[in-house]
Amino acid sequence: MPVPVLNRPATLVLLAAALAVTASPSASLSAQIRASERAQVSQTIDGTTLKLDYSRPRMRTRGVEEIFGAEVHWGEVWTPGANAGTKLEIDRDVTINGVAVPAGSYTVWMVVSQEDSWKTALIADTTLFHTDHPPIKSDMIQFPSPVTIAGPTEELTWTIRNLTSVGMTVEMAWADRVVALDVKVTPSLPIDLAADKAAPFVGRYAVTWADGPTPPGWGDTAELFHADGALRMRWTIWFWPEMEEQILIPLTDEWFTFGIAIDGEMFDVIREFTYEFTVEDGKATGFEVRLPDDLVLFQGKRIE
């Protein structure tokens, strides 16, 4: 009997159709809910972005006493998530709970205990699975992380809260435990100014506008003083009447930009304002405030 000659294009079409039929059930299954669904959370602070990618185990019908100390054993090296190791990405250097963490990608692991502080370790291997339980070695990035009892939290949840101009609190909550990571970023415009550097500018200034009388709601005097390592100013501005003070952020030795402070901490920066001081014999005599187009908006003249 002669061997049949295959029609190659027709055979490939039939094969593709057969594969589509056999593959369709699995494709449908992959779209269904998993026991531990994936989630992401991210936050940008002053140009530094932190992102967490993790899976969310659920308590289901279990009580809180069946999670930590039972499902997750005391002393176990555990990834705070499920399936693949929980992944942390940071695009600039930060500190976490006071420990320097270089920019990069890590998996997150915690040594679970009955104490009020767990050890957290960051491992550069991002291929680890939750069952790997890697040993914590001295050359790894690691830091203590405070733990509180709360809950219950049904689905393991990473949350970012307590945002400031220089950082955030990242919390992991599941069952009856909450673990906190205090993240600090490197500010793009440091506010620090030593007292001797601030001294030439400290004093009271009469504020006048370049194009006419002082608009309603704006103060006509500004007091500059040094406190908490920064050059600060008390000046009433109409669009933020509850603001107690401002911060002058150094750009050069005699130029500053304008930061808004609430409860003594930097809240926002209005980079459009540039304070250009005139200094004579080691003491500022006044300043001009310019907009990005170099237009003078208002000026201050020393009165004390």
In this predicted model, what pLDDT tens digit does every residue of 286-299 receive, in sequence order? Answer: 999 999 999 999 99
Task: Find the CATH number of the domain harbouring 227.
Answer: 2.40.128.50
Q: What is the pLDDT of residue 147?
A: 98
Q: What is the pLDDT of residue 266?
A: 78
d(C-alpha 78, C-alpha 251), whole Å: 45
Residue 2 belongs to some domain of the structure: no
Residue 20 belongs to some domain of the structure: no
d(C-alpha 41, C-alpha 98), whole Å: 22
| Domain match, 215 and 177 both | no
| Domain match, 220 and 101 both | no
Q: pLDDT band at residue 221, thresholds of 50, 70 and 90?
A: very high
DSSP state for residue 132 in the 8-state scheme? -
Residue 136 belongs to some domain of the structure: yes
- Domain that residue 152 falls in: 34-185
The torsion defined by the Cα of 242, 243, 245 and 249, in degrees rounded to 10, comes to -170
| Domain match, 171 and 263 both | no
163 to 182, 245, 268: CA distances (angstroms)? 10, 19, 12
d(C-alpha 70, C-alpha 10), whole Å: 58
Contact 146/180 with Cβ under 8 angstroms?
yes
The SS3 call for residue 64 is helix
d(C-alpha 272, C-alpha 258), whole Å: 8
Q: Which of 134, 160, 185 is at the close of a domain? A: 185
Q: Tens digit of pLDDT for each residue in 102-114?
A: 999 999 999 999 9
Residue 8 belongs to some domain of the structure: no
Host H or E run for residue 30: helix 8-30
| Domain match, 119 and 200 both | no
- Please give the tally of structural domains in the chain: 2
> What's the whole-model pTM score?
0.76
Q: Which of 218, 236, 202 is nearest to 304 (CA)?
A: 202
Q: Is pLDDT above 70 for 252?
A: yes
Residue 26 belongs to some domain of the structure: no
Helix, strand, coil shares, percent, the chain, to 5: 10, 50, 35
Question: What is the average pLDDT across 209-228?
Answer: 92
Q: Which of 222, 199, 206, 226 is nearest to 282 (CA)?
A: 199
Q: Is pLDDT above 50 for 240?
A: yes
| Domain match, 107 and 233 both | no
Residue 181 belongs to some domain of the structure: yes
Q: Is pLDDT above 60 for 26?
A: no
| Domain match, 58 and 162 both | yes
Residue 178 belongs to some domain of the structure: yes
Q: Tens digit of pLDDT for each residue in 100-149?
A: 999 999 999 999 999 999 999 999 999 999 999 999 999 999 999 999 99
Q: Is the peptide bond before 152 cis (omega within 30 degrees of 0)?
A: yes
Q: Which of 131, 159, 185 is at the close of a domain? A: 185
Burial of 206 (0-12, 13-18, 19+ CB in 10 A): middle
Question: What is the average pLDDT across 59-72?
Answer: 94
